[in-house]
Amino acid sequence: MMASSYNAKDEDGHHPGSVGSGGPGAVKSKKPDNTAFKQQRLPAWQPILTAGTVLPAFFMIGLIFIPIGIGLLVTSNNIKEFEVRAVAIATSYCVIRALCSYTAPRTKDFSNVFMYYGLSNFYQNHRRYVKSRDDSQLNGDKSSLLNPSKECEPYRTSDKKSIAPCGAIANSLFNDTLELFYIHPNGSRIAIHLVKTGIAWWTDKHVKFRNPGENNNNLSIVFQDTSKPVNWRKPVYELDPSDPDNNGFINEDFIVWMRTAALPTFRKLYRIIQKKKDNMTPTLPPGNYSLEVIYNYPVRSFDGRKRMILSTISWMGGKNPFLGIAYITVGSVCFFLGVVLLIIHHKYGNRNNNADIPN
């Protein structure tokens, strides 16, 4: 791809005097060693970027990127995403066990459908917020459990008991409950089975987050000297009483929440709707659905918004046309530049060819 010349300058023959007399007793000649390195004559590859060499590269990039971009865009467009700005309009009446129903997506996808909740104008990346956690407490460290890090202030202790899990992040755990019902054409509501696990990173769930007292199944005893975070309704060991592998610090909703979002508008994975076993019926058959939200989480005070998103996932993740557009754009720009350069190259080609060989 590049015009290159291997410029191995041959070294002069070593002088026997300077090299041979390496012994400690020998009179050290001040003559500098004649090595390629010291004489700055290391063999070197000297690539030269010229229109002639970059031209094919541009075409190549164009030819590779445009298909990738198209592929990405198609993939992204194939991802079915259904967004409910649920609470935006329904703040007043979706109060408790509010029932909001919507016409659901008509997906024919046979893959898993992922259910996200989204918040906007929620600064999970605020510094005071980000650092307000104690990872060693979350890792099951006994001493940190009873004496959490200073960083957790002002969510460190309550009622003279240490808070577990301490800190602002844990304290503000998203605690709305979302449920999805399929409204059968005959009028009956069928609850869709939402899987709670597999939503957090495997390493987080299995290494980074550990319940204290590893083998003690009775979490209430382990956490007995601690107090629940002030905003929580129930203590940490009751996050999911039904499944001991999803309770306490290793509760996946909790772990997902603890991974602070990068931007103030974010979505977090809430549940997974498993695809049907037979691969014949779509995961969510077309029809009407009703979303039931148990509304606990206040967002009005900071001018926030809540969303619920149902989305399928491709190999590139969720729906995001940005990458596809970017690849197509860059590919076309490269191709265009290639054409321009080709014209330049042809016009002034002769001279450039001469210049390609500098030595």
Partner 1 sequence: MLRRRLNRLCGGDEERVDSRTIYVGHRPCPDTEAFIPSKFCDNRIVSSKYTVWNFLPKNLFEQFRRIANFYFLIIFLVQVIVDTPTSPVTSGLPLFFVITVTAIKQGYEDWLRHKADKEVNKYPVTVLEDGRSVKKESEKIKVGDVVEVVEDETFPCDLILLQSSREDGTCFVTTASLDGESNHKTHYTVPDIEKDLQTLTSAIECEQPQPDLYKFVGRMHIYKLEQEPVVRSLGPENLLLKGATLKNTKKIYGVSVYTGMETKMALNYQGKSQKRSAVEKSINAFLLVYLSILISKAVVCTTLKYVWQSKEGQDEPWYNQKTQKEKDTNMYLKMFTDFLSFMVLFNFIIPVSMYVTVEMQKFLGSFFITWDKDFFDPEIQEGALVNTSDLNEELGQVEYVFTDKTGTLTQNNMEFIECCIDGFQYRYRDTQSEVDGFTVTDGPVNKLQQKAGWEKEELFLRALCLCHTVQVKEAGSEVLVDQVDGIDGLLSQPEEERGFIASSPDEIALVKGAMKYGFTFLGLESKSMKIKNRQNDIEEYKLLHVLNFDPVRRRMSVIVQTKSGETLLFCKGADSSIFPRVRPEEVDRIRMHVERNATEGYRTLCVAYKQLSAEEYAMADTGLREARLALQDREEKLMAMYNQVEMGMSLIGATAVEDRLQEEAAETMEALQGAGMKVWVLTGDKMETAKSTCYACRLFQRGTELLELTVRTLEDEKLNSDQKLHELLQEYHNKAVKDAPPVKAGVTRSWSTANQDYGFIIDGATLSLLMNPPHDADASQYKSLFLQICQNCTAVLCCRMAPLQKAQIVKMVKNSQGSPITLSIGDGANDVSMILEAHVGIGIKGKEGRQAVRNSDYAIPKLKHLKKLLLAHGHLYYVRIAHLVQYFFYKNLCFILPQFLYQFFCGYSQQPLYDAAYLTMYNICFTSMPILAYSLLEQHISIEILLHNAALYREIANNAMLRWRPFLYWTVLGIFQGLMFFFGVRFLFSNPALQDNGQVFGNWSYGTIVFTVLVFTVTLKLALDTRHWTWINHFVIWGSLAFYVFFSFFWGGIIWPFLKQQRLYFVFANVLSSVSAWLVIIILILLSLLPEILLVVLRKPRGHHSQQKKQSQSNVGGNQSSQSSARPLLMRTFSDESNSVM
User: Of residues 59-118, which lie at the interface with partner 1 (CB under 8 A)?
Assistant: 61, 65, 68, 72, 112, 114, 116
Letters for 301-330 (x = contact with partner 1 by CB under 8 A, - = none) are xxx-------x-xxxxxxxx-xx--xx--x
Letters for 31-50 (x = contact with partner 1 by CB under 8 A, - = none) are xxxx---xxx-xxxxxxxxx
* In contact, 68 and 299? CB cutoff 8 Å: no
Collapsed DSSP state (helix, strand, coil) of residue 1: coil
If one asks whether residue 196 binds partner 1 (CB under 8 A), the answer comes out as: no
Work out how close the CB of 72 gets to partner 1 at its nearest, in angstroms, rounded to a whole number.
7
| 43 vs 241, beta carbon nearer partner 1 | 43
- Residue from 85, 208, 275, 305 touching partner 1 (CB under 8 A): that is 208
Residue 180 tokens, joined: 């999805």
Residue given tokens 């005070």 in the structure block: 301
If one asks whether residue 168 binds partner 1 (CB under 8 A), the answer comes out as: yes
| 227 vs 288, beta carbon nearer partner 1 | 227
CA atoms within 13 A on the CB side of 349: 10
- List of residues 6+ apart from 38 with CB closer than 8 A: 32
- Residue from 91, 147, 149, 288 touching partner 1 (CB under 8 A): that is 149
Q: Return the beta strands (E) in the chain as ranges.
A: 3-7, 44-48, 81-84, 98-103, 113-120, 157-158, 161-163, 177-183, 189-191, 226-227, 266-273, 288-294, 305-312
For residue 305, the cross-strand partners are 120
If one asks whether residue 166 binds partner 1 (CB under 8 A), the answer comes out as: no
- Residue from 268, 283, 293, 306 touching partner 1 (CB under 8 A): that is 268
Work out how close the CB of 284 gets to partner 1 at its nearest, in angstroms, rounded to a whole number.
15
Residue 358 tokens, joined: 């500098």
| 100 vs 337, beta carbon nearer partner 1 | 337
Residue 40: DSSP 8-state: T
Give the type of residue at 92. Answer: S
| 181 vs 327, beta carbon nearer partner 1 | 327
Work out how close the CB of 218 gets to partner 1 at its nearest, in angstroms, rounded to a whole number.
25
| 174 vs 181, beta carbon nearer partner 1 | 174
- Closest Cα partner for 324 from 2, 45, 77, 29? 77
- Specify the stretch interacting with partner 1 by CB under 8 A; choose among 84-92, 95-103, 179-187, 259-267: 259-267
If one asks whether residue 350 binds partner 1 (CB under 8 A), the answer comes out as: no
Residue 39 to residue 19: CA distance in whole angstroms = 15
Residue 83 tokens, joined: 């967004």
